[in-house]
Amino acid sequence: MGVLMSRRQTVERVQKVSLAVSAFKDGLREQPSTRRRAEAGAARQGTLEQEVQEGEEEASAGPSKPEESSASKAAWERLRDGRGVEPEEFDRANRFTPPAFIRPKRELHDDEPPDISLEQREQILNDEMCEICEVWTAESLFPCRICPRVYHDGCLRRMGYLQKDSTVEVTETAHTETGWSCYYCDNLNLLLTEEEMYSLMETLKNCKIIPGACLTLDDFLHYKHQVHKQQFERTMPEAQEEQAALQFNALDPDKKGHIEWQDFLSHESIQLLQKIRPQNALLRLLTPKERERARAAFLALDQDNDGFIGESECRQARHTWFRKHQKEMLSCNVRQGWLGGGGHPYFGGRPWGSSIAGLSNEPTSARRSIDWPGFLRENVAYILAARPNSAALHLQPLA
């Protein structure tokens, strides 16, 4: 106990220093940006931060009010830093300082096919100490269903990542087979590199999308039309507009008439990843937990154990990744995560055979056979898109 208390005291000292540094940085942000404007004519290196500053200076030169330009500036900064869900009025009193997100970088071997064996299972172990305070308290830790990190609900609350309306959801799902995604895995935008983020921000600026704002159906369709016209220099076909409307409905599961900013940002992030990165690079983003879930899905679909499944079963699997928030899931401990039990939440929580068998009435000879590598390639984007805790479908599977 003496060691534990000593560690807690050390953590508290570090957090006090972090709060002081954070307050100092906040004070600097609130100062007038006269020095930036004076240096606007200097040579620029073309980095993402400098490009964002140019956009901010252009916006401040317009007829908008100072309050609006300040809010817009803060919104673009949050988007650049991957903090798209942090409110401007974030109360830092008695809170930990949120971590600085570091965007990934592409490696030379990313486009090469990864070796993901179907037969060789992976051992899934969660971390033993809280990611935030680095203290071990066994059953009171909440595991992420995507990565090995674990957290205390109190630490999440003090960081501002766990609000009152989401506390119950986390406590109910974190120790079930359905699981809960931590703030790293919940934000698909953090998968983008700095260059990819710059590309997305340019698109949003050109289409006059305001960071943090909700989008109605008309806003969403107008945005999709603009993006299509900029990319192909022609009007978007009616069939694609219908598909965009279906995607809007998928992003608005509660039928509120608008989609939340974070859901829109996650959707656009996964769309950009599909366009820019090859499937091999996307496969390298999968975590051991996600690969194990994919193995279990394929083996359940492969009824005759010949290493192949039908095309209709593969299409069905794309929909099953998004079956979340099952209230009847069995509880399991931190080490087991959501991998325990005979059923699976992404197949309705039923045993594999009963939930998969008989999905298609097509004769076997008429189906396109898909092997394990093909199954992964065709489903990787949907597996990644299912990471957020939101009930929204960030990548609507085609029928």
Residue 255 has pLDDT above 90, yes or no: yes
Asked if residue 382 belongs to a domain, the reply is yes
3-state SS class at 139: helix
Same-domain pairing of 310 and 393? yes
- Domains held by the chain: number: 3
For the stretch 305-356, pLDDT in tens is 899 999 888 888 888 887 654 433 333 333 333 333 333 333 333 333 333 3
Mean pLDDT over 177-193 rounds to 90
Same-domain pairing of 320 and 375? yes
Asked if residue 235 belongs to a domain, the reply is yes
Asked if residue 8 belongs to a domain, the reply is no
Estimate to the nearest angstrom the gap between the alpha carbon of 158 and the chain centroid: 21
Same-domain pairing of 308 and 389? yes
Same-domain pairing of 381 and 288? yes
Asked if residue 334 belongs to a domain, the reply is no
Mean pLDDT over 176-197 rounds to 90
Residue 383 has pLDDT above 50, yes or no: yes
Mean pLDDT over 374-383 rounds to 94
Same-domain pairing of 377 and 301? yes
Cα 304–Cα 310–Cα 311 angle in degrees, nearest 5: 165
Which CATH number goes with the domain that contains 172?
3.30.40.10
Find, among 137, 132, 131, 96, the residue nearest to 4 by Cα.
Answer: 137
Domain extent at residue 179:
90-98+122-186
Asked if residue 172 belongs to a domain, the reply is yes
Task: Return the pLDDT at 56.
Answer: 52
Q: Which residues of 74-97 are buried (b: 16+ CB within 10 A; e: fewer)?
A: bbbbbbbbbbbbeeeeeeeeebbb
pLDDT confidence tier of residue 153, bands split at 50, 70 and 90: confident
Same-domain pairing of 138 and 235? no
Phi first, then psi: what are they for 75, rounded to 5°? -65, -40
In whole angstroms, what is the distance from residue 26 CA to residue 92 CA?
10
Please state, rounded to an integer, the average pLDDT across all residues of the chain.
74
Same-domain pairing of 211 and 290? no
Task: Return the pLDDT at 343.
Answer: 35
Report the 10 Å Cβ neighbour count for 16.
Answer: 10
